[in-house]
């Protein structure tokens, strides 16, 4: 989630809505000169067209009332591409190859981003099959008909990174985060669940009718969606983004080692900036927070995939020096195909790491890196794993494996020189890394748990409990009816035990 992007949802005062002829002049403040939009009235209706034209112009887009040669993008709603081509033919206009024929979802996304967004496949108009049997029927892109019944559980949905509803999910995640900051867990979960289900949809919501069969959308969520459909933005989100408490919590918790409790304390003490906190003589910081402040700039700039791959090479090199048959797997967001992350997560195991016997691999790796001057901070958490412990009932519980939360000093020779390296000849970047080590027998559970997303994990565990009378966590799956642990060698087997279709890691971006 990027609240700065949300802040971009036009910082204007709410104006009375205008329709029809009272639209602002097309020439007002055109920010994006390269594209000229024409919105098709056919099947969209006059008032909705007028509303969208006005909104787009307010956001700095050039929107023409009449179709002309200068138009580069035609936006239509409820039309297939052949509908639009037929219409153009009837107007005696020949569509050039450069002319983009796009669904209204593209324009709505542009409104959310406050700038033109890249055209991808999902923005193209549906191609109507031209067999005579259905040539005269409506185009097939009627979202509700196109979608099977949507499950309320994220583990029964396929959620790729191609989010057609980002304008809504960004808004819902800002509101969820604000509830989290206010320790309202119920609303936090409700808004996260709603954002998650919208991320799985293969279409963009363009009217409230599209939301009718979607689960997990409480009234307060629908209200937000409706406002965004109508205005292109949400007043509550704008208020939250401008709220001092939200801004302070967001800022304070962006420091590694600072959680809600500390943020709350600093806010109550009247702090609003990190520089005041850092220079305060009376405050005591944990080692983690000290490191968080020291490497702040690096840690808030996202880890790129290139950087993650470079770290991966070094983790494997170090682990294999001590345990040549170890399996080292990058987990977390990068395993789900994300291009950036806040950290890089790794799961380490080997046939030699058993439930009975611990191996001091993490300690050896840490000692090695320390000798090489590659560790900026580390916290080694010892294992509290017990073979016969039943899976935790808490869906957000941390696991019991040995792990190390660390900050790695990644030298930049081989990777793209980002901002950090230009900083006065600095040749390295501080990168957050999590290393987790698990017994070989538990590797499938650990891999599934550490791949995420958090919402996906939450729903997997809820599904196991409520739909299957089983208990799942990062260590094990327990069948309460049969009163036995169910073993698994792979993630596929865990899904099969749960009676779920297998969901690939890149489809778990719930
Ligand atoms: N995880 C979990 N429950 C937690 C914490 C983590 O199930 N309380 C799982 C889900 C994702 C994985 O561990 C790694 O966690 P993060 O690194 O926090 O998440 P991420 O998806 O990798 O996100 P990012 O790309 O920001 O690192
Ligand atoms: Mg991660």
The domain spanning residue 27 has which CATH number?
Answer: 3.40.50.10190
Domain that holds residue 276: 244-294
Q: What is the pLDDT of residue 27?
A: 53
Does pLDDT of 129 surpass 70?
Answer: no
Q: Is the CB of 457 under 6 A from ligand 1?
A: yes
Examine the domain organization and report whether 174 and 73 are in the same domain: no
280 belongs to the catalytic site: no
Same-domain check for residues 127 and 158: no
473 CB under 6 A from ligand 1? no
Whether 283 and 401 share a structural domain = no
Q: Is residue 103 part of a domain?
A: yes
147 located within any domain:
no
Instruction: Report, as an integer, the average pLDDT of 6-24.
Output: 34
Average pLDDT, the chain: 88
61-75, 138-152, 168-182, 413-427: least confidently modelled range: 138-152
Long-range CB contact pairs, 360-367, < 8 A, 24+: 361/319, 361/322, 361/323, 361/326, 361/437, 362/402, 362/403, 362/404, 362/435, 362/437, 364/322, 365/315, 365/318, 365/319, 365/322, 365/435, 366/404, 366/406
Categorize the per-residue pLDDT at 470 as very low, low, confident or very high, splitting at 50, 70 and 90: very high
Greatest mean pLDDT range, 84-98, 108-122, 168-182: 168-182
Local confidence band at 450 (pLDDT 50, 70, 90 cut-offs): very high
User: Higher model confidence: residue 125 or residue 371?
Assistant: 371
Same domain, 223 and 285: no
Q: Residue 491 CA to chain centroid, in angstroms?
A: 22
In a domain, 107, yes or no: yes
Q: Between 415 and 296, name the one with better pLDDT.
A: 296
- Grade residue 69 by pLDDT with cuts at 50, 70 and 90: confident
Any domain includes 472: yes
Query: Based on the domain organization, do 392 and 471 belong to the same domain?
Result: yes
458 CA → ligand 1 middle, Å: 11
Q: What is the pLDDT of residue 161?
A: 97
What mean pLDDT is predicted for residues 341-355?
A: 95
Tally of CB atoms within 10 A around 31: 11
pLDDT of residue 28: 67
Residue 428: give its domain's CATH number: 3.30.460.10
Polymer length of the chain: 510
What are the beta bridge partners of residue 62? 36
In the prediction, which pLDDT does 93 show?
78
pTM of structure: 0.75
- What local confidence, expressed as pLDDT, does residue 111 receive? 87
Beta bridge partners of 429: 410
User: Last residue of a domain, which of 226, 241, 256?
Assistant: 241
Is position 509 within any domain?
no
Domain boundary among 197, 212, 241: 241
Residues 349 and 328 in one domain: yes
Tell me, in angstroms, the distance from the centre of ligand 2 to residue 113's CA: 25
**Average pLDDT over every residue of 57-80:** 90
Task: Kindly state whether residues 285 and 370 are assigned to the same domain.
Answer: no
Residue with tokens 């080997």: 350
φ, ψ of residue 302 to 5 degrees: the values are: -60, 145
Query: In this structure, are 349 and 274 located in the same domain?
Result: no
Which of 333, 462, 472 is the best mutation target for the ligand 1 pocket, counting ligand atoms within 8 Å of the beta carbon and taking the most?
A: 333
Asked about 345 being catalytic, the answer comes back as yes
Pocket test for ligand 1, best of 433, 452, 456 (most atoms within 8 A of CB): 452
**Within a domain: 505:** no
Give SS3 for 482.
Answer: coil
Domain count, the chain: 4
183 part of a folded domain? yes
In this structure, the number of other CB atoms found within 10 A of the CB of residue 392 comes to 18
Given a cut of 90, whether residue 395 has pLDDT beyond it is: no
Domain CATH for 180: 1.10.150.110
pLDDT at 155 over 50: yes
* 410 in the same domain as 446: yes
Mean pLDDT of 154-164: 97
484 - beta bridge partners?
479
pLDDT of residue 323: 95
Most confident residue range from 243-257, 386-400, 402-416? 243-257
* Span 423-449, average pLDDT: 94
Are 50 and 109 part of one and the same domain? yes
- Residues 181 and 110: their CA atoms lie apart, in Å, by 29
426-447: average pLDDT: 97
Tell the burial category of 462 from Cβ atoms under 10 Å away from its Cβ (0-12, 13-18, 19+). middle
Per-residue tokens: 136:
């005269």
Q: Are 201 and 164 in contact (CB under 8 A)?
A: yes
* 320 and 457 together in one domain: yes
pLDDT one-digit tens code per residue, 299-310: 999 999 999 999
CATH no. for residue 283?
1.10.150.20
Q: If you measure from the C-alpha of residue 364 to the centroid of ligand 1, how many angstroms do you get, rounded to a whole number?
A: 25
Catalytic residue among 83, 343, 399, 473: 343
CB 320 within 8 A of CB 407: no
C-alpha to C-alpha distance for 29 and 45, rounded to whole angstroms: 26
Question: Which are the contacts of 103, defined by CB distance < 8 A and separation ≥ 6?
Answer: 75, 76, 77, 123, 124, 125, 126, 141, 204
For residue 453, the CA-to-ligand 2 centroid distance in Å is 9
Does 275 reside within a domain?
Answer: yes
Distance, CA of 53 to chain centre: 30
Specify whether 321 is located in the same domain as 440: yes
């Amino acid at each position: 989630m990027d609240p700065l992007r949300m802040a971009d949802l036009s910082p204007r005062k709410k104006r009375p809505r205008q329709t029809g002829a009272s639209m602002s002049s097309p020439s007002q403040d055109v920010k994006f000169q390269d594209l000229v939009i024409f919105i098709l009235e056919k099947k969209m209706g006059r008032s909705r067209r007028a509303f969208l034209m006005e909104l787009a112009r307010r956001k700095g887009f050039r929107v023409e009332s009449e179709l002309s040669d200068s138009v580069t993008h035609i936006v239509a709603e409820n039309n297939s591409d052949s509908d639009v081509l037929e219409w153009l033919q009837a107007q005696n206009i020949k569509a050039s190859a450069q002319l983009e024929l796009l669904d209204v979802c593209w324009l709505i996304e542009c409104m959310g981003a406050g700038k033109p967004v890249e055209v991808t496949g999902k923005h193209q108009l549906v191609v109507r099959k031209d067999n005579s049997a259905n040539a005269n029927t409506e185009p097939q892109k009627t979202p509700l008909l196109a979608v099977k019944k949507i499950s309320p559980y994220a583990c029964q949905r396929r959620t790729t990174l191609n989010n057609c509803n980002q304008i809504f999910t960004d808004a819902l995640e800002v509101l969820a985060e604000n509830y989290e900051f206010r320790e309202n867990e119920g609303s936090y979960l409700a808004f996260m669940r709603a954002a998650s289900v919208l991320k799985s949809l293969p279409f963009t919501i363009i009217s409230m009718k599209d939301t009718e069969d979607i689960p997990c959308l409480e009234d307060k969520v629908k209200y937000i969606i409706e406002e965004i459909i109508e205005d292109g933005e949400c007043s509550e989100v704008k208020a939250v983004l401008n709220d001092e408490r939200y801004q302070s919590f967001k800022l304070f918790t962006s420091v590694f080692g600072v959680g809600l409790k500390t943020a709350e304390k600093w806010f109550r003490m009247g702090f609003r900036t990190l520089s005041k906190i850092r220079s305060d003589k009376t405050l005591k910081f944990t080692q983690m927070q000290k490191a968080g402040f020291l490497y702040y700039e690096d840690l808030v700039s996202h880890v790129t995939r290139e950087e993650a791959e470079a770290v991966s090479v070094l983790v494997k090199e170090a682990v294999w020096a001590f345990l040549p048959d170890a399996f080292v797997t990058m987990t977390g967001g990068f395993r789900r195909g994300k291009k950036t992350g806040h950290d890089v997560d790794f799961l380490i195991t080997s046939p030699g790491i058993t439930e009975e016997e611990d191996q001091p691999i993490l300690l050896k790796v840490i000692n090695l890196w320390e000798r090489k001057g590659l560790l900026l901070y580390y916290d080694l958490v010892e294992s509290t794993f017990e073979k016969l412990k039943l899976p935790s009932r808490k869906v957000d519980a941390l696991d019991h494996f040995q792990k190390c939360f660390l900050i790695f000093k990644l030298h930049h020779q081989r990777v793209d020189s980002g901002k950090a390296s230009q900083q006065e000849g600095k040749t390295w970047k501080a990168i957050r890394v999590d290393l987790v080590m698990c017994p070989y027998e538990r590797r499938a559970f650990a891999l599934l748990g550490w791949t995420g997303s958090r919402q996906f994990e939450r729903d997997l565990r809820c599904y196991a409990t409520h739909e299957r009378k089983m208990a799942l966590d990062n260590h094990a799956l327990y069948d309460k009816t049969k009163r036995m642990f169910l073993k698994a060698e792979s993630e596929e087997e865990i899904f099969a035990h749960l009676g779920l279709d297998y969901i690939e890691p890149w489809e778990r971006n719930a």
